[in-house]
Structure 1
Amino acid sequence: MTATAFPSSLRAPSSRRTLIVGTLVYLIAVLGAVVFVPDAKILQLATALAYALAILGLNLVSGYAGQISLGHSAFFGIGAYTSTILVTDHGLSIIATLPVGALIGFVVGIVAGLPALRLKGHYLGLVTLSFAVVFPLLITRFGSLTGGVNGKLLHSAWVIPDGVPDFITQTSINFVVVAAVTGIGILICRNFAKYGPARTLTAIRDNETAAATSGINLSRQKTIAFAVSAAFAAVGGSMFVLVTGVVAPETFGVFLGIQLLTGLLIGGSGTLIGPLIGGLVLAFLPTYTADLIGGSGANMIYGALLVALMFLMPTGIAGGAAALYSRITKRRRPIPADHDSARPGIAPATVPTESRGGAHV
């Protein structure tokens, strides 16, 4: 599940026309959801976009750099708790807390990325798993600041003037804010993938020795990738708490870290659209399985569907869609006529073939 398995059009739209069309489609989808989708579904969509932001960050480490991280739930929680504390205890706007959460996530990501300098693969995955284990314990330890095991509420509300349409609610405004921040994150990752840094990480992933020989500073690139990835996850956590309105330590544990990595693999690592698909899967699939079969059976169906997706589409949904599109275009592509036969007055050349007995036919 590497970035090289996908067409460049899926990894980073190169033309301005593609960018404009994609932006318009995204805006129309957001506005259409605000007007026509009920608040309950809008809440799920906003949650999916918050997950997508975190998965976008994880994509930098796992999709491009080829490293496994199971600890991004901790960075997700850092952003969520930073925004909650600053908004609830200090009266800041949720938007003003985003740079603070991103900066804290970036700094912690530098420290957390140090193991990536010497470890890779499942060894790095085990180390990052410890971040997801320790983070809820730290939140509980500093309960006077974080609310401890009881969690902490986000006291934030938008001022809605009188006379506005009924579809403009607190939930729909939160959704628009999350969609705007996620859209900006996608544009940043697009430029990241298009203008060089992602190619550097891909070179490191494919062959560290060759990358170092080419003059790439492996330590700096790996650390920066982990730090930027953590900053994205922290912003995703801030958007998550804006949607849910509450944080609790158990929300940001090991299970969420595994979920984020699963969402990346299902959506399609190394692509821009993969994190969006992964976020939608994480937000909607558990609800649909719960509606289909309640109780513990819902978890079994959920797990079975995830396994089926991984087997049927090993490169993720984005990769499967790209492969299907490639097959369709190849079938529709006309076979070019022979150059000589296409020229008037020249008969096509006959190539002699030799039979088993050596006679020419």
Structure 2
Amino acid sequence: MEILLEEFYKTDLHIDKYHDRKVFIDEKSYQINGITKSGKTQLVKSYLLAHKKNSYLYIDCNDIRIEFDELNKILNKFCQENRIDILVLDNYKESIKFPNVSQLLITSEHKYNIPEIDQIDLYPLDYEEFLAYEHKYDSSALNHFFQLGGLPVMHKLYIDERNTYLQQVFQIALDDVEFDILTMCAKFNSQKLSAFMIYERLKTKRKISKDKLYKSFEALLEKKYIHLVEKYNHTKATKKIYLCDTSLKSALSIEKNFGRLFENMVYLELLKKSRDAYYEDEIDFYLPNKDEIILCKPFTDERRLFKKLESIEAFLFTHSIQKITVITMNKEGSVSHPLASVNIIPFDIWALGD
């Protein structure tokens, strides 16, 4: 193992042109969590490359040559002898014992309970981060965002490679039950869906126990491959399900519904802005902390919008809603309403706002 550690220590790190993310690493120790291909490795390598090469050690724990029992015996001694200040354990395995170093950075899909280090959640790119990859910011940028989603690696792939690449990557990252659940969620994204409903559908296609499915469903939630939104004040009601990235919709499903994909994209922006959101009948997202509701209407006209507002007036009155935001693809304006201000905002303007 010492020979392998020497190899890791001497190997030059390389990353393609790196675009800064909204999260960053300072001198503290961190556990960086995120789905596969969310950019965890690029984030830590970018940080390491700003330091002297002899001050850090980068280990990809997925390297099949690593014998973890042997690694635990010599890692601390190796770090002390080579005066390692920063240790990165990429794709961290729980069996690895931490050596005594000034700064420890670990990356994982799982959140481990490690009190001594802070946690960073790294999501796929939001729209503002995505724009850093665009050659110019114009009307084509939003269309590219719909096509590519928020996984940075998608910018390097030809259009005919993207879906098969994602299928392969996620099949490797997940076990077979988790992957089947994710595929089902892609089919029903932005709709009400429960673990039991998934079980009822999958058991007709494959042999599976309810216990295994429920555990796999919880694992996907914990690793943030899927997200659930509750109905407001109805915790037992069936929740709505959203994908971790919109690119998975076309990669894992042939179902086409632009409105639901658009709603999923809006939800991910809310998630990355740490906005507490709920759904309600006829209402896409209710933000109680802001007395605001959000309606996702990529293509809408005033006549349909007025009908929608009429259908939710009881909710507006009961909850003293002050603001209604209607998010569209490109329409902008406002509508007069006696109970709340109604603003129609294109997605790109809304996503880049506060």
Shorter-chain TM-score range: under 0.3
User: Which structure is richer in relative contact order (CA contacts within 8 A, separation 6 or more)?
Assistant: 1
Larger Rg: 1
Higher helix share: 1
TM-score of the superposition, structure 2-length normalised? 0.23
